[in-house]
Amino acid sequence: MSFTESLETVTGTKIRIMRKGTGGPLLFLHGASGASRWLPFMDKLSETHEVIVPEHPGFGGSDSPEWLDNISDLAFFYLDLLDHLGLEKVNLVGTSIGGWLAAEIAICNATKLGSLTVVAPAGIRVKGIRKGDVFMWNPQETARNLFHDQAFAEAMLAAPPPSKEGMEILLRNKLTSAKLAWEPRFLNPDLHKWLHRISVPTLIVWGDDDKAMPVGYAPAWRELIPNSRLEIIENCGHLPQIEKADRFVELVSGFIGEVTR
Amino acid sequence: MKFYFMHLMPYADLDLSYDEKHNSAWVTLPNTYYDPKKGHQLYNRYLDELEYADQLGFDGICVNEHHSNAYGLMPIPGVMAGALARRTKNVKIAILGRALPLLNNPLTVAEEFAMVDNITGGRLIAGMVRGIGAEYHSWGVNPAFSHERFQEAHDLILQAWTQPGPSVFEGKHYNFEYVNVWPRVYQDNPHPPIWIPSQGSSETIEWAAHPDRKYTYLQTFASVSTVARYMKMYKDVAAGYGYEATEDQLGWSLPLYVAETDEIARREAKEHIEAFLQKFLRMPMEMLLPPGYTSVKSMVGAMSAKAGHSMKQTIDSVIEEGKFICGSPATVREKLEEYQAQIGFGHLLTLLQFGTLPAELTRKNMEIYSKEVMPYLRSVTASRAA
């Protein structure tokens, strides 16, 4: 069975949502490169969960609303979306900017959440550990820096150039990422003060060779969120869900199974 | 037509082999490439050249703003304008900056411009720009808000200049309880002339040509066909608003080199214009066009154009496109006369020093241009207008 795709209007903003599977709800929040395609890790997770993958406002097939200025706007929008979908005990999983967003949602209101998984999240600062300047990387550098295993980079670079529409989506995703994260760079200076409010069990996942969001950030997240566990994946870059999809799925479903028993 | 001497003040002593190790003369080129002893010489030489333009009868001189680069050493152009305000007597002084979105407090520009306008008794021309993409990297300012910060900063400065203070400003990016700039602008009817330099953008033209503004649109470094296209667009937009754009609303800025003969001009200019094109302007796409700096639509256009052909610019290619005018006085006169008649710009900003062009050639260029090109064009354009 294939995934379904729909456009839904949430507080006046149209967003594109992909869905598949039955079981406890798993809301996946994508990173800077959006979520235009249904990926193998989503499919694996859908064997045990109802996997819901929206594209954030300002990304891919969703609207670019006037009101979107910063990460807080997006977090409050997602609280509206949780109401709209009528979901309870949601397992929130976010990667990179999406991990940052998931944490922002969880500090505001975790009443509809069952668990939280953040994968190489942006959002805080550890002085002296510089994040990769993704806005300065050219397409070659981006591909090489995103992955530990360069075979993934080669495959990405060998892909045919995007169509005009594909190019527009890439540029729009980049624009919204800049809006959220250019300055201060991938940072909400206030976020670290409130991460202790996250009351749901939390899993932190990180690749040990992440050049965008260095793994040196992982212990800080572990310390700031009381009820959290850290898993570092070896020989892995910024996108464990792609580069180590099996291990990623095993960790996430194992964790969710354990904490929602 | 009016004639201006424009300067970029490049770091002409740059080690041009920098590009074996670095991909740009901007943002990330280590400032250890800059030698303050040489810089001291260059700044004073360049200021002398700008002052000399006053003596040679130019209508105006132009300073510029760029940050963290070897291409232009005027990050704070008001310092240059201040130095020139007292040493020049007749010329207009155009500050072409200031990059408004980069500033957290645009009132500093309202103040700086008002000071220069007061000292010179109204010789200021106020430039307002967004800065180039690289500056958003250097200054850490979010390019996604570049357009809205520009509009808002402009509105704030205009309010400071035209409404009696104190007044309140309520914006999204800027907020003030007391807008009350001292000194007031000298040219207060209603404010100093505002010029909008641009690399070419329909959004900018529509905004500048609006009847509330009628600002002078200044096309920077572009081929003749591009200049013609954008200036026609300005006139069409003005016509759409129900008025006819004057020559005073259109300006063109370009490098120019004139010498005794075509052959001498080309020989003397070649290495220096090519240093300008290939070394000082060198910049990857990610630096030049950060997200939001231009619309997604224009970005798609720029990227497909780049995929099509990315040709190295040489003296021949830029002369061919009319981005650079180079030749004997007769050649230069003929080209400018033709372009002016065809395009109808009223301000011509010539960059008579570019790249590594040394002092003596710069002075020779200025002298021949002011004696053998400017007077001729002044009389033909005046007689055409009459």
What percentage of chain B carries pLDDT values higher than 90?
A: 92
ipTM of the complex: 0.96
What percentage of chain B carries pLDDT values higher than 70?
A: 98
Domains of chain A: 4-259 (3.40.50.1820)
CATH number at residue B297: 3.20.20.30
For B48-73, write each residue's pLDDT tens digit: 999 999 999 999 999 999 999 999 99
Residues in chain A within 8 Å Cβ distance of B292: 175, 178-179
Distance, CA of B239 to CA of B278 (rounded, Å): 39
- Give the closest of A161, A171, A178 to B142, CB-based: A178
- Cβ B291–A135 below 8 Å, yes or no? yes
- Give the closest of A161, A176, A183 to B141, CB-based: A183
pLDDT at B306: 60
Top residue of B142, B149, B289 to mutate, by most chain A CBs within 10 Å, is B142
| Beta-strand relationship, B2-6 and B347-351 | parallel
Number of H helices, E strands in chain A: 10, 8
Peptide bond just before B98 cis, omega within 30 deg: yes
Q: Name the β-bridge partners of A13.
A: A10
Domain total of chain B: 1
A140 touches chain B (CB under 8 A): no
For B76-105, write each residue's pLDDT tens digit: 999 999 999 999 999 999 999 999 999 999
Question: What residue numbers bound the domain in which B361 lies?
Answer: 2-385
Rg (CA), chain A: 17
Does residue B309 carry a pLDDT above 80?
A: no
Contact in structure between B159 and B179 (CB atoms under 8 Å) = yes
SS3 assignment for A37-91: CCCHHHHHHCCCEEEEEECCCCCCCCCCCCCCCCHHHHHHHHHHHHHHHCCCCEE
pLDDT at A154: 98
Peptide bond just before A25 cis, omega within 30 deg: no
Tell me the shortest Cα–Cα distance from B144 to chain A, in angstroms: 5
Residue of A nearest to B283 (CA): A136
What is the pLDDT tens value at each position of chain A, 261 positions in all? 799 999 999 999 999 999 999 999 999 999 999 999 999 999 999 999 999 999 999 999 999 999 999 999 999 999 999 999 999 999 999 999 999 999 999 999 999 999 999 999 999 999 999 999 999 999 999 999 999 999 999 999 999 999 999 999 999 999 999 999 999 999 999 999 999 999 999 999 999 999 999 999 999 999 999 999 999 999 999 999 999 999 999 999 999 999 987
